[in-house]
Structure 1
C-alpha cells in the first residue's frame, strides 16, 4: 500500500512538472491607424496571469497548454476586448483596440476602469492621456505636456508661466527628458513659457518620480518619457491649429499601405510679425526709426517607420527646434546688431527584432545636440575730426552634443517573470563657454575660454518583474553606471527595488528604493531655465551627483466610479549637488573677466534632502474626468561656501501645493474645463537694508528716522540715490506670497463632412490674481517729502483671454 501511494505521488508530480506550456505573443495596435499601443494589459480572463505591452506594443504570455483560453486586452481610453483561442501550441496573436472616440456615449460611460495602479509593481508613476492634456486650459491656447505634468502632485512649478519641473526636491537639470530615446536638454521655448513639445505629435507621456526601473539612469529626480506617434498606416490624417501667437500642422499617413508610414509636425510662432506694426508706430513717435527688436521660435518633428517583416521593424525619427531673439539699430554711421539663439536637434534610428515568442530587442543609435549662441556687432564713430569708425564683434557659445548607442532586451521566460536587460553608451562633447572677440577696439582676438571636453558615459542593467504569487509583484533591478572624463573614471552601482502587495482586489500597498547618479549638470543662477544656463559634465574636479530615495504608499481603484486614489510618502537624500558660488555667473565670478576663470572655479558642491507626502485622486476617462492633487513637502540645501555654511531652503521649496483639474463633456459638441492651482510662495533672498555713500569710501545704513543723517545725505548726493549698496540677510529667508490661479476654457466641436473643427475660448488667471514674479526693495519719496524703504512685488500675467481654431481630417 505504501509503495502504491509513493508511486501515485511521483506520477502526479511528474504530471505537474511535465505539463506542456505554450506561449502567446504578439502586438497590440490601435484599430484603424495600426499605431502600436504601449502599456496595454493582456491577461487570461478571470486569472492573475497577465502582461503589459512594452514601449513598442509587444507582449508575451507563457501559460499551461489547454484546449482553449479567453484573452482580455484593455487600455485606458480604448474599448476592452476579449478573444477565445486554442491554446494547445504556441500562438502568435496581434490585437486591435478601438479608441473610445469611435464609440457612442453609452459605451463610454459603461466602460470598466482598468486596475493599472493596484496591478503594477511600479509606484510614483504618472501618466496623463494626451487627449486629456489637450482639453486643459492653457496660456494663450498653447497645449503643453510639461505644464500638464506640473499639475500633478510631487511636481513643483517654477515661477509664473514657466515650464520647469521640480520633482520631489530636485532641480530642473535632474529630470531625464526623453523623446523617442533621445535626451532633450533644454525643453523650453519663449524663455521658459512654453515647452518644445508639440502635443499633436506626441502619442504618450509618462512621468516617473521614484522607484526608477534599472533601465533608466543619468538623473536624480525624475524620468519624463515621451513617444512620438508613428503615423497612420491606413490613410492620410492631419490636424492643426491657429492660435494667438503660433500655428501648427501635423500630417501622417501611409508610405506603403499597411507596411510603412510617416509623420511630419511643425509649429511656428508669429510674434515677430504681429509686433511689427506696433513697433513701427512706437518708433515713429519716439523718432527711433532704425531700432527693431524681434523674436520667434519654431519646431519640427518627423518620423517614418517600416515593417521589414513579422519580426523586424525600423523607425527613424527626429526633432529640430530653435528660438531666435534679435535687436537691430542703425542711425547714420552707428550700427548695432545683437542676437540670442538657442535650440535642440535630435535624431534616432531604432531597430526592433523579435528573436522568438519570448525574446524582444530594441537597438538604437541616437544623436542629440543643444546649443546656445549670443552675438553682438557694433560700429560707431570715433569722436574726432577723422570721421572714422570703430567696429567690435563678440560671439559667445555654449554647447553639449551626444552620440549614443543602446540595446534593450525584453525576455519573458514564464508567467511569473518579465526580465529586461541591456547596455547603453554615450559620448558627450561639451563646450561650456567659448568667447570670441575681435575689432579695432579690442587687442587682437580672445581665444575660446574652454576647449571642447570629451567624456564617455555608459551603463549596463538588468531588472526582473517577478510575481511569486498572485498578491505580490516585485521589480528587482541593478544598474552599473560608468563615466570617464580625462584621467578620472567613476564606477557606481545603482540598486533598484519596488514592490506591490495586493491586500484586496482593488487595493494595494507599495514600496520602492532607488539610487541614482548624475554625470551631466546644469549651472543656473536664475532659476528660470534660461538658455544662458550652462550644461557641463563631471570632470576630474567635479564628481557626479548622487541621490537615494525611498517611498511608501497605497493605491486603490474605485471600479464602479472609474477613480484611482494614491497616497505616497517619500524621503530623498542628495549628495554633491552643484551651485554657482556667491556672485558667480556664466561670465565669471564677482565681476572678474570671464577669460580669467574656468566654470569649474565658479561652482561649489553641497548636499540636500527632501521629504513629504503626495495625494492624488484621478479619473482618466468618462464624461467627467480630471484629478485632485496635493503635496506637502520640505526641501533643504547645505553648502559649505553658501549662506555661511548654514542650511537653507532652495528657491523652489513649497510647503503646500494643490491642483484641481476638471473636464466635463456636456455633449458631443461642447467640452468645458477648469484648473485651479495653489502653492506656498517661493523662498527668496531680498535686501534687508540699504546703505548710502556719504563719501568716496564710507557707506552708512539708511534710517528714515534719522533726519539729520538723511539731510546730510541729500545735500551731499544731490538727491541721487542710484548708487546705494544693499545688505542681504540669510539666503532665501524671505517667503513670497502664496501663488494661486484659476484657468477656464470651453471648446465647441463640430463634425463636418470631411473634417472636424474645434473653437476654443480660454481665460488664463480668470480672477486676475497678481502672483509674484519677483520682488525688489527700493526707496520711494512720500507725499510729505520723506523717503521710505518699500518692497515692491512685480507680477507677470493679469487676466489673459485667448482663442484658437483647431481642426482634424
Structure 2
C-alpha cells in the first residue's frame, strides 16, 4: 500500500495532537498485568466509578486516560475472573500508573453493583462479538478429553457446526474460508488436526480468544464472515511454571518462566503430540500379518519470548509449528503412500510508546501452510518405477504497523496499515514413470500483494451514545489484475435505560483469497487460491440490529440480534470437478484451476439469542440461532437457489459449569441442530460397455450372441437438484467431572468425561445399498444412514507446578 495514503489520515488527527499539548488536562497511563506472572491483561476496564468515563487495555495491556487536572482522582480496574481494585492518584501532571490484578476466588459468589461491574455488554458499541475465558474452556467437556478452542466457539449462536466431531466453523452463512483466524497477528490457513476432529490451538498456550461475527472494526479485513483473534500467553516473569496433561490420544507439556533475573522478560514453550501411531501401528501390522505398516500422528509446538528494553520499548517473538502425517507401506504391492500437512507461523513485534497518548506496534509476520500427497511404487528389485508427489500451499510475508491514540476520554482511535505478500501453489505435481521414461515436474506459483489502510474511532458523543466508526481501504495486486476497494464500517450502542441498550452495525468486507472445497468439511485437500483476472474478489455487506442487557446483580449478560448478509462472487466447483482434475499429469493439456470453478452469490439472515454468565460458582451460557442461508450459481442446480450443506434452521446450545466445591467441578453441554442440507442418491442404475461378442450355434438363424455387453459398474443417480435432502436432526449431551487436588508445590486434576452420553446415532453420511430379498420382501435398494461416534468415554490427568 503506497504510504501517500497515510498522510491524509495523520493530518486528520493532527488537531488532536495539538490540543493534547494545551489546557489543564493530564494523562494517566500504564500497563495492567496479572499478579505474580506479570502476564499482560487484555480488555481490562479502567474507569471513574459512578461515571461513563473510562477505557480498556489493548492487546498488550496498555491503557491511557486523559482527564481534567485535579488533586484526587479515583480509578477503578476490573476484569473477568480477577479481583477489582481502585487507585487514588493526584493528577496535577501526567502520571504513569501500572497495576497488578489478582485472580479471584473461583467459588466466590459474585455480588456486582452498578459501580463495580466487571464488564457491560450494554455499554460497548461493538456487537456480534463473543469472548470465552480460557478458564471456562478448560472445564467444558471435550471429545476424547482434548480441550479445543474452536469446538467451544461452535457452541455459540450464529456459528454452525460442520459434520460430527469436526472443528469446521460456519458463521452466519459463510464458508470455512471466510473466517480470519489470527494467532499473534499471523494468519492460520488450515487450523485442523486429524482431518478436522481437533484444532491446532493448544489451550495451555492461549491467553485469550475473541470471535467477531459482524460489525467488524476497521482494523480487520480480508474475510467476509468472522474474525477469530487468538493471543498466546507471554510467559511467567516471576518464576518457572509448568502445566500439562496425559490423555487417551495425546499428551502435552507447557513451560514458562523469566528470561533474566531482573524480570524484564519471559519465555513460554508448549508442545503436544498424539500417540495414535504408536497404538495403532502394531494392531494394523498384526491384522495384515506384517504385510502392511501404517500410522497417523500430529504434533504442534508453540513458543514465545518477550523482553522490555525500556519502559517505552518492548519486543515480542512468537512462533507456532504443527504437522499431521499419515503413512502406509503395503509389502504385497510394494507401494508407499503418504499424506501430510501443517502450518508454520512466526511474528516479531515491537511496541513503542511515543508518549502517554500514542502507542504503536510494528509486526513482521510469516505464515506458511503446506499440503502433500505422495505415492511411490517399487519393483521387485526395489527400484523406483513410479512416483507421484502432489503439493499445495500458501506462504505469506507480512508487515503490520498499528497506532493506538487516546486524545480524550470521548475518543479512542486506532489506525494503521498492513501489507502481505502471498505466494500460492495451488497445484504442484511431480510425476516420474520409469517404464515409459516419463517425468513431469509441474509447479505453478502465483504471487500477489494484499494491503490495507484503516482508521477507526470509538467515540462517546454523550453519556448514552457510543459509536465505533471506521474506514478501511483494501488494495490487491495480482498478475494482470488490481483492485482498490473502500470498506466503511460503523457500529453504535444507544443506552435507553440503565444496563439496557439498542445496537446496530453495518460492515462491508472484501476477500481476495478463496478456498476450493468439494467436501464441505474443510479437509486439508482443499485448495487456497487467490483472486485472478478470471476470479473476482468476494464481497459481503452485513447489517445487524439488536439489544444488549446486563443483569448486574446476577452477573448475567443477554444479547438478542438479527442480521442480514449478502455475499457476491463466492466460488464453488462446477458439477463433477475437483482438485484432482486441476492438473492431469497424464493429459496432454494443462487445465487452469479457474476452468473448474463457477462464481455466484449467497445471502443469509436470521436471529440469535445468547444469555451468558462468565463468573461465579455456576457459569456458562444458553444460545439459540434461527437462520436461513441460500446460494445461487448460474452453472449449478439449473441456476436456481439452493441451501448449502451447512444451512441449519435451528441451532441450540446449553453449557453449564458448576463448582461443587474446591475439589470437584461438574460441567455439561447439550446441543441440537436441524439436519444438514445434502445431495443424496435418488436411485441407481447399471452401466454397460461393449464386450467381446462370441457367436454360437450351427446355423445363422439359430446363432446366439454372447458377451455383446459387459456389465462394468453400478452408478448412483443424484437427480438434478442440489441439497434437497435434509439429514436427521443432530443432538448430543456431553458430561464431565473434574477432581482437583491442591498440593503444596503443585496441583493435579483427574477428569472423566463422556462425549454423546445418551449414545445418539447422529448422521455422518448417507449411502444407497442393495437389500437382498427375504421370505417376505423382494430385493430392493435403500438409503442407509451411517454414524461415526457412539458414546465415547475418556479419562485424562492434568497437572500444574
- TM-score bracket, normalised by the shorter chain, equals over 0.9
Instruction: Tell me the distance in 2 between the aligned counterparts of 1:191 and 1:292.
Output: 20
Q: Which residue does the alignment assign to 2:12?
A: none
- 2:291 equivalent to 1:290: yes
The CA distance in 2 between the partners of 1:590 and 1:388, in whole Å, is 29
Distance 2:274 2:299 in 1: 6
- Are 1:768 and 2:759 matched, yes or no? yes
Find 2:42's aligned residue among 38, 43, 46: 38
Report what 2:10 is aligned to: none
Aligned residues: 761
Does the C-alpha gap of structure 1 residues 373 and 84 become closer, same or farther in structure 2, counting only changes over 3 Å? same
Which residue is 1:612 aligned to? 606
Aligned to 1:229: 233
Match of 1:340 in 2: 339
Q: Superposition pairs for residues 98-117 of structure 1, below 5 Å? A: 98-100=102-104, 103=105, 105-106=107-108, 113-117=117-121
2:15 match: none
Match in the other structure for 2:301? 300
Q: 2:247 aligned to 240, 243, 246, which one?
A: 243
> Take 1:256 and 1:603, find their aligned partners in 2: how far apart are those partners?
55
Task: Give the C-alpha shift of residue 674 in structure 1.
Answer: 0.3
Partners of 2:686 and 2:713 within 8 A in 1: no
Partner of 1:467: 460
1:687 maps to 2:687: no
Which of the numbers 29, 34, 42 marks the counterpart of 2:33?
29
Aligned to 1:660: 654
Deviations 1:136-167 (A, max 9, x none): 00100000000010000000000000001000
Question: Do 1:301 and 1:319's aligned partners in 2 also have CA atoms closer than 8 Å?
Answer: yes
Residue of structure 2 equivalent to 1:126: 130
Give unmatched runs, 5+ long, in structure 2: 1-20, 692-706
- Paired with 1:34 and 1:116, the residues of 2 have a C-alpha distance of 25
CA contact (8 A) 1:583 1:589 kept: no
Q: Distance in 2 between matches of 1:246 and 1:297?
A: 9
* Partner-residue secondary structure (3-state), 1:532: coil
Secondary structure, aligned partner of 1:353: strand
CA distance in structure 2 between the partners assigned to 1:427 and 1:590 by the alignment? 25
Equivalent position of 2:794 in the other structure: 802
Q: By how many angstroms is 1:446 displaced?
A: 1.4
Structure 1 residues 388 and 216: CA distance shift in structure 2, 3 A: closer
Matches within 5 A, 1:461-610: 461-588=454-581, 596-610=590-604
Q: Is the contact made by 2:349 and 2:362 (CA closer than 8 Å) also made in structure 1?
A: yes
- How far the C-alpha of 1:135 sits from its partner, in A, is 0.4
The DSSP-based 3-state class of the residue aligned with 2:151 is helix
Report the counterpart of residue 705 of structure 1 in structure 2: none
Q: How many Å separate the matches in 1 of 2:60 and 2:22?
A: 33
User: 1:463 touches 1:476 (CA, 8 Å); kept in 2?
Assistant: yes
Structure 2 vs 1, CA of residues 137 and 418 (structure 1 numbering), >3 Å: closer, same or farther? same
- Report the 3-state secondary structure (helix = DSSP H, G, I; strand = E; otherwise coil) of the residue aligned with 1:447: strand
CA separation in 2, counterparts of 1:295 and 1:252? 29
Q: CA RMSD in A?
A: 2.0
- Equivalent residues in 2 for 1:252-267 (5 A)? 252-257=256-261, 258-267=263-272
Asked if the contact 1:431/1:452 (under 8 Å) is kept, the reply is yes
Report if the CA contact (8 A) 1:76-1:113 is conserved.
no
Alpha-carbon shift at residue 108 of structure 1 (Å): 5.2
Give unpaired runs (5+ residues) of structure 1.
Answer: 1-16, 382-386, 698-714
Q: Which residue of 1 aligns with 2:275?
A: 270
- Equivalent residue of 2:279, what SS? helix
3-state SS of the aligned residue for 2:160?
strand
Q: CA deviation at 1:26?
A: 0.7
Can you list the C-alpha shifts for 1:316-368, whole angstroms capped at 9, x where unaligned? 0000000000001224xx52111001000000000001100100000000000
Deviation by residue 1:742-765 (Cα, 9 ceiling, x = unmatched): 000000000112100000000000
Q: Matched residues in 2 for 1:522 and 1:651: separation?
A: 16
- Contact 2:679–2:718 at 8 Å: present in 1 too? no
Shift of 1:529: 1.1
Does the aligned pair in 2 maintain the 1:68–1:88 contact within 8 Å? no
- Which residues in structure 2 correspond to 1:712-731 (within 5 Å)? 722-731=713-722
Partner residue in 2 for 1:20: 24
- Counterpart for residue 625 of structure 1: 619
How far does residue 591 in structure 1 lie from its aligned partner after superposition?
8.8
1:39-188 to structure 2, matched below 5 A, reads 39-100=43-104, 103=105, 105-106=107-108, 113-188=117-192
Matching residue of 1:678: 672
